Chain A
Amino acid sequence: MNELVTLHTQALRGAVVPAYLDKLIAALRAARLNNTFPDRRRVQGSLETLKLAMEAGLYDQLYVDARAGLPNMASFTRVLTDHELAGGSLSRMSETAHYEQKRDEAEVYAQLLQKRRYFEAIQGQPYAPLDEHRVQLRRHDPATGTAEFRLDLTKLDATGLYVRITIELTQVASAWRRKVIDLDADGESAAANEAFHATVYRNASYDAEHLFIHMHDIEGVSVDRVQRGVIGPVLFRLPREGEPTNPVVPAEPDKGNPRLGHAWRRWLESASSDAPELLMCFQTDIAARDVREEKSNDPIEDLLSTSIQDSERARYQHTRERFPFKVFKDRKFVVTRGTEALARAVCQAAGTKNLIYRVR
């Protein structure tokens, strides 16, 4: 289970699956996520659906992104398609009582009973999208031709992380009537045009500073705030029954975050707990006009300005001078008993003060 089955993908099977999903669900609950992040209830809904599906025996294994430690696109797509097909499947299936009555007659009835109960259980429950894009009109002044919008993109990113990006921007009349965001005839609802949507989508993996500069460069657009909320990466150590010295762990933690991956590998060398252990990250990254001090309180990701090459520094500073914003990065952690020391050590090494929540 610690080997890759395909690109960036691990397959978890057996008893470690519910242990892994339970810990993720508990960590999401404990993280106290605000609306900077992807909707906690929906992500949690997807994880609970995956757990139910595995318990019902619908799938043999759970695919996990080896870098981010979260269920991967194949796993989240299972949830989506099961939700989309649940209603139709239930209408074609017999009633629960029928399967209950016949479950001892043949295996197929027992399987269908499980499947029916699964579909009934997930119907109407929240679940996370692979991608979701919304535009809200915050303020519209026809007199001055100014409109303020909030763009909201939730995306299961190619990095394996769940990302939510919120961009607040202002369009000026002569421009917004033609491009970027279109208002309907009543001036009440808005939709980003395809090009703008794609620009945000394509740049979702980059940090808020990058996005701010990129968006602000578009003619007729003035960006007020870009914020990113990122769920993951997750690091886990799941003991296997009968193999205490061979726990299930992420295969590519260094590709998720090199600094955290390095610390994690060091921690693993001395870890010996019989209980499942987990460390989950929740990053916020804001580039906005109302940020007072440019700072990173993120122990594993620096500001762009600190990592810029000397040869590029002058050009970078010139670019930044054109834009009136500052950047603030932060990260909180949810940990189990065994990984708490690891999180604290990482923060201490970086000189940051971060929220660390404990789950059992």
Chain B
Amino acid sequence: MSAGSKSLSDVLARDVAYSGEGISVRSLEDNIQEERTVQDTKVGELKVLRDRNVVIQTAMADELKKLRKFSDYIDGTATKGGFWAGFKEVVSYIPGFKSIAISKRSIEELLKQQYQVSAKRVKEAAGYCDVLKQSEQELYTEINRINGKIVEAAENERRALEYVLDLRTMQEELEAELQTIEAGSVEARKIETDQDRIRALLAEHSTNVQLYGAAENRYASLKENTRKLAETIRNLAQDIQQYTTAASIKLDMASAQIQAIGRAADASVVMLEMKKSLDVMTESMNVTTQFVSDTQIFFRQNLDKLVEELETFDEGTSALLDENLKKSKEIEEARIQSAIDKAMANRAKQVDGGGASAPAEG
């Protein structure tokens, strides 16, 4: 036992250096929960945006309705009572203007007010684009962090597997040695003591094999969901940017026409030109309305599905953790065996691959 004793003491005394903060069922659960909280926050932000989107859509639709009415009535096609009768009805859509005779209002002033409201709505939407871009960037940072965790878990799993294999070898050697010694002798008792120590180490490190393996897989799933969320946010931000840019350019280009036509309309001179100017503004609102309508469908189709997937994932991981806790006692031997099988398979794969490093020797 002299040569084996040195090897045995080395193996038993080996300090297996796992990187990171160490792992337990509880700490893994806590870490995963922490990562989930980040996702939940982002999903929460998206939900707020979805609600806000509805508000913007409603407001935009109202503005579009007013502008279209303006346009139709100025065209003289929408009312039998002529332009002024129609115009009076149009203005009644604007808060506070319901009871005012239209001939008493300045059209230039009304149009400027409408222009200002429209510009504000477009800018509000653009503001949400900033929020989304920041969220997207934070999620990519999160993905980098999760990648670090995945690599760390994979490396720790490999260390655990290598140690489990060494312990198993040692266990087999001791078993063989025990057969050659008289049962109940001092030597036999010493070997049994070493076997118990090895069993304890096997239990501890085979648990690590499973925990680090589970951590690697679950972090990988978490990363996949985070990536989906980031892509969802990026697509949405791009859509918003595209539409706000288009709308604000149209508004910028329309401002001088709106003033000019408002002034002309006030002078009751060039009514038809007013329609031309309003068409520019209406076009901008059309882009906007199309966008909000599209994004609502996008939300309905994607966000709910994403949330559902995340919830399913959550239930799955919790169940796995519960099961681990409940059955850990009963399946210890099976787990050790499973870890050894995995380690053996891993070693075989490394030998086949020819490039992997050999397990550390005691």
Point out residues on A near B: beta carbons under 8 Å. Answer: 5-9, 63, 65, 72-74, 77-78, 80-82, 84-85, 88-89, 92-94, 105-106, 108-109, 111-112, 115, 130-131, 158, 193-195, 197-198, 201-202, 205
Q: Give Cα A131–Cα B109 distance, bound, in whole angstroms.
A: 8
Known: A7-B260, A81-B123, A195-B104. A108 touches B255 (CB 8 A): no
B contact residues around A111 at 8 Å (CB): 130
In the assembled complex, the CB of B231 is this many whole angstroms from the nearest CB of chain A, namely 16
Q: Are A74 and B120 in contact (CB under 8 A)?
A: no
Q: Are B108 and A80 in contact (CB under 8 A)?
A: no
Chain B interface size, as a band, is 35 or more
Q: Are B263 and A63 in contact (CB under 8 A)?
A: no
Does B256 have its Cβ within 8 Å of any Cβ on chain A? yes
Does B266 have its Cβ within 8 Å of any Cβ on chain A? yes
Q: Are A77 and B104 in contact (CB under 8 A)?
A: no
User: What are some 26 contacts across the A-B interface (CB < 8 A)?
Assistant: A7-B260, A9-B253, A73-B115, A73-B258, A73-B259, A74-B119, A74-B251, A74-B252, A74-B255, A77-B119, A81-B116, A92-B127, A92-B131, A109-B137, A112-B134, A130-B112, A131-B109, A158-B262, A194-B104, A195-B101, A197-B106, A198-B105, A198-B106, A201-B109, A201-B266, A202-B106
Interface core residue of B123, B251, B262 (most chain A CB under 10 Å): B123
Q: Are A202 and B108 in contact (CB under 8 A)?
A: yes
A contact residues around B141 at 8 Å (CB): 105
In the assembled complex, the CB of A353 is this many whole angstroms from the nearest CB of chain B, namely 34
Q: Are B263 and A85 in contact (CB under 8 A)?
A: no
Q: Are A158 and B255 in contact (CB under 8 A)?
A: no
Does B100 have its Cβ within 8 Å of any Cβ on chain A? yes
Known: A8-B260, A63-B255, A112-B134. A194 touches B105 (CB 8 A): yes
Q: Are B256 and A202 in contact (CB under 8 A)?
A: no
B contact residues around A88 at 8 Å (CB): 127
In the assembled complex, the CB of A97 is this many whole angstroms from the nearest CB of chain B, namely 15
User: B100 is contacted by which of A80, A194, A201 (Cβ under 8 Å)?
Assistant: A194
User: A73 is contacted by which of B104, B112, B134, B267 (Cβ under 8 Å)?
Assistant: B112
Q: Are A108 and B137 in contact (CB under 8 A)?
A: yes
Q: Give Cα A205–Cα B263 distance, bound, in whole angstroms.
A: 9
Q: Are B130 and A112 in contact (CB under 8 A)?
A: yes
User: A106 is contacted by which of B106, B108, B137, B252 (Cβ under 8 Å)?
Assistant: B137
A contact residues around B253 at 8 Å (CB): 5-6, 9
Closest to B117 in A: A81
Q: Are A85 and B123 in contact (CB under 8 A)?
A: yes
Does B296 have its Cβ within 8 Å of any Cβ on chain A? no
Q: Are A6 and B256 in contact (CB under 8 A)?
A: yes
Q: Give Cα A115–Cα B129 distance, bound, in whole angstroms.
A: 13
In the assembled complex, the CB of B281 is this many whole angstroms from the nearest CB of chain A, namely 12
Does B133 have its Cβ within 8 Å of any Cβ on chain A? yes
A contact residues around B109 at 8 Å (CB): 131, 198, 201
Known: A7-B256, A72-B256, A73-B256. A115 touches B120 (CB 8 A): no
Does B124 have its Cβ within 8 Å of any Cβ on chain A? yes
Q: Give Cα A106–Cα B133 distance, bound, in whole angstroms.
A: 11
In the assembled complex, the CB of B115 is this many whole angstroms from the nearest CB of chain A, namely 7
Q: Are B255 and A72 in contact (CB under 8 A)?
A: yes
In the assembled complex, the CB of A79 is this many whole angstroms from the nearest CB of chain B, namely 11
Interface residues of B in 240-276 (CB under 8 A from A): 251-260, 262-263, 266-267
A contact residues around B267 at 8 Å (CB): 202
A contact residues around B258 at 8 Å (CB): 73
B contact residues around A197 at 8 Å (CB): 106
